[in-house]
Amino acid sequence: MSQHVARTGLVALVGLILSLLSSAGDARAATFAPDPIRPSGVIVRAVEVATPFSPGPNNFAAPKAIDGALHYVDQAGRILRETASGFQTVLDLANAAPAGFSPSSRAAILDIADGAGDAVFVATLSESLPTDAPPARRPPTVGEYSSTPLYQVVYRYRRASDGTLTDPVALASFGIGDSGHLGGGLLGLDGGDVLFAIGDGLLFGTDGRAAPQDDSSHLSKILRIDATTGAAQVVAKGLRNTQRLTWTDASKTAVAMSDIGAATAEEINVVPLADLLDTTVIENFGWGRNADGLAREGTFYIAPGAPGVTGAPDAVGEAPPGEAGFLQPYAQFGREDLTFAAVSGPVFSASSFDGIAALFGDLVSGRVYATLADPFWVVGQVDVFRVNLQDESGAPTSLFELGARNGRVDPRFFNFADGGAGVLLEGAGRAFRLTEVRTAVPLPAMGWAFALLLAGMAMGSRGRSGCRGIEEDRA
């Protein structure tokens, strides 16, 4: 009798689990949104280490370590190098701009990257084509692209013995819409070349149109630029607005990037470097109109967006896992209770993190998120967890409390020269070192049910409620 009751209870419990899983899946399909951001006991401590800029309406890129020194990029046109005694201005385009360079009011410097030897790459934005720049690849001249273009020009500078950047050589130039998504991320390769990410050149509210999927266009691409000749080769396509490229580890085995979304998903993408540089197949992240008439954002299909219509295109379906021909994101998250969200980061750091694999956040609210080291229940894409911050004293805090100005936080995540993780808060002009204090991972969605199931089977097991330092599988 007791065995019959136990068996009946177990069947009922399994039925309940399946029912709940089914209803959860139906709800997700109806809304076409990424899985919810999960709560966690992950704690990261933020300790202020520098104040390179005054508080105000600043516009910064993520800092970069170049030849052992951290460089801060004021996108208005300056690059500052951190020294033992403070901050040294190593480039100021207001005083030393290349001939014919006319800085855009949107930004004069987009990003910088370390090169081989004393080479430093600088991606700039000019209202006119500089005198010595090569002819610019032009954007389309129809529809939303018909405005006067700006010019993204990638320079190779030489780092002098005193740290200043001299002898600019314009390697490549690209036309882009004067009010569209710029992208702008740079990443130097060990062989001497540099990767450059260019946005779709369009305003909010489109699906990217055809250019992101056109291999002959430079828009919505990652380009490999030859450090000597300036020849540019497409290595990836279908990215909407990637402002930063970074490495996942010190061995530089994979490139990571965020892609700011339009309709439903903020993306963290990871691609092995060998795959990226193998151009027999161009890596395709899906943004822009494809042959089936749809763009892809994260794992979702995006309907065509009409020009001039307020709001983003709608998500109209969900792509199957591992959809042929497209790279799906390593992680993605949605708007949830926010009116607007824009992903910033990610940063990877073996010295700062234990259970955390990648740390990133939202530019507008300053919320901080993470992926964790291969949670045991994950198959395929990884979950996104909310991160709890504490200040140097151990008191709970947030990036908003540490540095919000004018209602926005605009965190720029980066790696220090020693590989540690950091974040620069634009409005406050303050830089913080980030260190994981504790990782306590809750059960996955439905974890309680699986725990009950194990208990009902009298196996003496309990649901796993935490993991720490588990080796991550990023294949």
The pLDDT tens digits for 355-371 are: 999 999 999 999 999 99
pLDDT of residue 452: 37
Handedness of CA 284, 289, 293, 299 (dihedral sign): positive
The reply to whether 203 and 79 lie within a common domain is yes
Residue 405 located in a structural domain: yes
The reply to whether 417 and 376 lie within a common domain is yes
Res. 462 pLDDT band, cuts 50 70 90:
very low
300 sits in which H/E element: strand 300-302
Average pLDDT for 55-61: 91
Residue 340 located in a structural domain: no
Average pLDDT for 96-105: 96
The pLDDT tens digits for 67-88 are: 999 999 999 999 999 999 999 9
The reply to whether 23 and 92 lie within a common domain is no
Q: Cβ(53)–Cβ(428) under 8 Å?
A: no
Share of the chain above pLDDT 70, in %: 82
Average pLDDT for 231-258: 97
The reply to whether 249 and 123 lie within a common domain is yes
Stronger pLDDT, 293 or 41, i.e. the higher one: 41
Res. 373 pLDDT band, cuts 50 70 90:
confident
Residue 240 located in a structural domain: yes
The reply to whether 122 and 44 lie within a common domain is no
Which letter does DSSP use for residue 93 in this model?
H
pLDDT of residue 380: 63
The reply to whether 292 and 259 lie within a common domain is yes
Res. 169 pLDDT band, cuts 50 70 90:
very high
pLDDT of residue 468: 27
DSSP, collapsed to helix, strand or coil, labels residue 65 as strand
Name which of 3-17, 142-156, 184-198, 303-317 the model is least confident about: 3-17
The reply to whether 39 and 82 lie within a common domain is no
**372: Cβ contacts below 8 Å, ≥ 6 apart:** 40, 42, 355, 356, 357, 382, 383, 385, 439, 441, 467
Instruction: Write out the residue range of the structural domain in which residue 40 sits.
Output: 14-50+356-475
Output the DSSP codes for 7-53.
HHHHHHHHHHHHHHHHHHHHHHHHHT-PPPPBP---EEEEEEEE--S
Query: Do β-strands 64-66 and 69-74 pair in parallel, antiparallel, or remain unpaired?
Result: antiparallel
Residue 243 located in a structural domain: yes
* 3-state DSSP helix/strand/coil % of the chain, to nearest 5: 15, 35, 50
The reply to whether 229 and 329 lie within a common domain is yes
pLDDT of residue 336: 87
Residue 9 located in a structural domain: no
Query: Which of the listed residues 334, 368, 401 is the one where a domain comes to its end?
Result: 334
Q: Can you tell me the distance from the alpha carbon of 20 to that of 17, in angstroms, rounded to the nearest whole number?
A: 5
Number of domains in the chain: 2
The reply to whether 312 and 454 lie within a common domain is no
The reply to whether 40 and 72 lie within a common domain is no
Q: Can you tell me the distance from the alpha carbon of 244 to that of 176, in angstroms, rounded to the nearest whole number?
A: 18
Query: Which of the listed residues 303, 334, 365 is the one where a domain comes to its end?
Result: 334
The pLDDT tens digits for 278-316 are: 999 999 999 999 988 889 999 999 887 654 455 567 888
Residue 2 located in a structural domain: no
345-37-183 Cα angle (round to 5): 25
The reply to whether 245 and 123 lie within a common domain is yes
Give me the phi and psi of 183, to 5 degrees please. Answer: 65, -130
pLDDT of residue 312: 63
In this model, does residue 22 exceed pLDDT 50?
A: no
Residue 346 located in a structural domain: no
Domain containing residue 152: CATH number: 2.120.10.30
In this model, does residue 190 exceed pLDDT 50?
A: yes
Residue 87 located in a structural domain: yes
Q: Cβ(400)–Cβ(365) under 8 Å?
A: yes
pLDDT of residue 310: 53
Query: Which of the listed residues 276, 304, 334 is the one where a domain comes to its end?
Result: 334
Return mean pLDDT, the chain. 85
pLDDT of residue 367: 96
pLDDT of residue 313: 73
The reply to whether 277 and 380 lie within a common domain is no
